[in-house]
């Protein structure tokens, strides 16, 4: 790993129904909401801390911990997964006082943002999404072996003896970065801490309809309703989904674009921060 420290700033919380949603608020300018991915221990800072200061130079950066992640509360819910997350994000933004924002998202954060863009278009300006799987059609992993590793990552992590650092390192190195040597130590340490929270362990790792993490939801009917300018920013070494899948999404979201980063992993915002920030900034500011 790369020995590096990047302490997580103090955040704030808003109450949304029975939930508490945590966020970090940095910079000033156009509100830009960053939504993290779905790996064990992921939150706004673990996924976007590396680039947060860059974007905060001319934007108001909101790093939001989605429900059941990071420092947000972990109540179970039974409702269509991405629509429910979108509703909670919308209500959190209403509570913060943000009427419209751009969104920069990784993985599950992108699926939630697409649901939001379809259901609350008034809230969404421009969208940038990386490694998201909003629809099942054409969803092909980089290799069958990595596809199996991705599907079983969560249940295996919390199974048997429960979370271990060795399991977390394997998930991050195999599925999210291009190797353990490229992972910053601060990211790993915070991911480990957040993945071991008692309320998260109590929630469990069941992603089926009855597991409390929402009913699995395909957004095929949502995508044609998205009118926000949208960029699918993909790494050609994304373990979960090939760039061909991202290209298929551009055919479902009218007017959207695709940028493929050579040797880009699932978490390119952390492993390739300078190139990632340059591409995203150019799209947002155009």
Predicted local distance difference test score (pLDDT) of residue 286: 87
Give CA–CA dist 279/261, Å, rounded: 10
Distance set, CA 126 to CA 26, 101, 142, 160, 280 (Å): 19, 8, 28, 43, 11
pLDDT at 188: 98
The proportion of the chain whose per-residue pLDDT surpasses 70, expressed as a percent, equals 100
Any idea what DSSP says for residue 174? I
> Does pLDDT of 282 surpass 90?
yes
Q: What is the pLDDT of residue 109?
A: 98
Q: What is the pLDDT of residues 176-189, one digit of tens each?
A: 999 999 999 999 99
- Give residue 160's pLDDT: 87
- Is the torsion defined by CA of 125, 130, 136, 139 positive or negative? positive
For 63-106, write each residue's pLDDT tens digit. 999 999 999 999 999 999 999 999 999 999 999 999 999 999 99
Q: What is the pLDDT of residue 113?
A: 98
Residue 196 pLDDT grade (very low, low, confident, very high; cuts 50, 70, 90):
very high
What is the per-residue pLDDT across 225-234, written as a single tens digit (0 to 9) for each?
Answer: 999 999 999 9
DSSP 3-state of 127: strand
Which two three-digit tokens encode residue 79? Answer: 């409702």
The two tokens of residue 221 are 């009917």
Distance CA 285, CA 180 (A): 33
Place of tokens 């920069």: 104
Instruction: Write down the mean pLDDT value for the chain.
Output: 97
Q: Is the pLDDT of residue 241 over 90?
A: yes
Q: What pLDDT, in 10s, does the model give residues 111-157?
A: 999 999 999 999 999 999 999 999 999 999 999 999 999 999 999 99
How many of the other CB atoms lie within 10 Å of CB of 204?
14
pLDDT of residue 170: 97
- Work out whether strand 12-16 and strand 19-26 pair parallel, antiparallel, or are unpaired: antiparallel
Confidence of residue 262 (pLDDT cuts 50, 70, 90): very high
Question: C-alpha angle 93/38/12, rounded to 5°?
Answer: 35
Q: Is 173 helix (H, G, I), strand (E, B) or coil?
A: helix
């Amino acid at each position: 790993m790369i020995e590096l420290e990047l302490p997580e700033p103090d955040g704030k919380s808003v109450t949304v129904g029975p939930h508490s949603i945590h966020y970090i608020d940095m910079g000033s300018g156009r509100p830009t909401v960053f939504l993290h991915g779905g790996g064990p221990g992921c939150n706004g800072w673990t996924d976007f801390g590396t680039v947060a200061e860059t974007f905060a130079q001319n934007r108001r950066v909101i790093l939001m911990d989605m429900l059941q992640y990071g420092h947000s509360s972990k109540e179970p819910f039974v409702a269509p997964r991405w629509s429910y997350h979108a509703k909670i994000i919308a209500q959190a933004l209403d509570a913060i006082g943000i009427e419209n924002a751009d969104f920069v998202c990784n993985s599950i954060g992108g699926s939630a943002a697409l649901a939001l863009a379809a259901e609350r278009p008034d809230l969404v300006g421009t969208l940038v999404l990386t490694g998201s799987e909003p629809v099942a059609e054409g969803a092909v992993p980089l290799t069958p072996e990595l596809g199996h590793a991705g599907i079983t990552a969560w249940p295996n992590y919390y199974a048997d003896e429960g979370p271990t650092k060795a399991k977390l390192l394997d998930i991050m190195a195999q599925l999210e970065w291009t190797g353990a040597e490229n992972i910053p130590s601060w990211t790993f340490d915070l991911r480990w801490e957040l993945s071991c929270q008692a309320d998260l362990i109590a929630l469990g790792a069941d992603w089926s309809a009855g597991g409390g993490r929402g009913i699995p939801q395909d957004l095929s009917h949502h995508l044609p309703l998205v009118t926000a300018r949208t960029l699918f920013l993909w790494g050609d070494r994304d373990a979960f989904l090939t760039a061909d899948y991202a290209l298929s999404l551009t055919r479902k979201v009218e007017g959207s674009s695709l940028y493929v980063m050579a040797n880009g992993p699932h978490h390119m915002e952390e492993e390739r921060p300078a190139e990632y920030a340059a591409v995203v900034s150019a799209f947002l500011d155009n």
